[in-house]
């Protein structure tokens, strides 16, 4: 019998919230999906969110190292491997986010959170 141990830390909670809000699907809808990519733009953004909350600061070319020893398939999706989160893929997604409009994407996510959790809003400042 072989046992593999992977670390989740607090990232499991954050990944669950990202999934509950629907950020991956929202990003994929806004940026479009390319069937030739091994990892969707939404999954890349989810990975960047988890990395940012992982209390690690490193350049993009070292991004895939963050996932060593972590349960990446559990956090990001079945079949996802650390090497899919390379600096080229991250750069392309960041470029697409910028071209699509970061404010519009942010507002879309905020609207989803407001709807999902039934938050009463009297005023909105953007």
Q: What is the structure's pLDDT at 126?
A: 64
- As a dihedral over the C-alpha atoms of residue 98, residue 84, residue 53, residue 18, rounded to 10 degrees, the angle is 80
Mean pLDDT throughout 75-98?
Answer: 95
CB 24 within 8 A of CB 42: yes
Mean pLDDT throughout 84-112?
Answer: 95
Residue 23 CB coordination number (10 Å): 20
Q: Pull the structure tokens for residue 90.
A: 């991250």
How many whole angstroms separate alpha carbon 1 and alpha carbon 73?
21
Q: Where are the domains of the chain?
A: 11-116
For residue 62, what pLDDT band results from cuts at 50, 70 and 90?
A: confident
30-39 pLDDT, tens digit per residue, is 999 888 899 9
Counting every residue, how long is the chain? 126
Q: What is the structure's pLDDT at 55?
A: 67
Averaged pLDDT of the chain: 91
pLDDT for residue 8 is more than 90: no
pTM, two decimals, is 0.89
């Amino acid at each position: 019998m072989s046992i593999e141990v992977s670390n989740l830390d607090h990232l499991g909670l954050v990944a669950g919230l990202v999934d509950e809000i629907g950020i991956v699907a929202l990003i994929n809808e806004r940026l479009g999906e390319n069937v030739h990519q091994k990892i969707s733009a939404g999954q890349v953004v989810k990975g960047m969110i988890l990395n940012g909350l992982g209390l690690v600061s490193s350049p993009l070319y070292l991004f895939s190292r963050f996932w060593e020893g972590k349960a990446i398939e559990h956090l990001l999706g079945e079949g996802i491997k650390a090497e899919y989160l390379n600096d080229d893929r991250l750069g392309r997604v960041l470029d697409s986010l910028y071209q699509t409009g970061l404010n519009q994407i942010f507002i879309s996510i905020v609207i989803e959170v407001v709807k999902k959790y039934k938050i009463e809003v009297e005023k909105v400042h953007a």
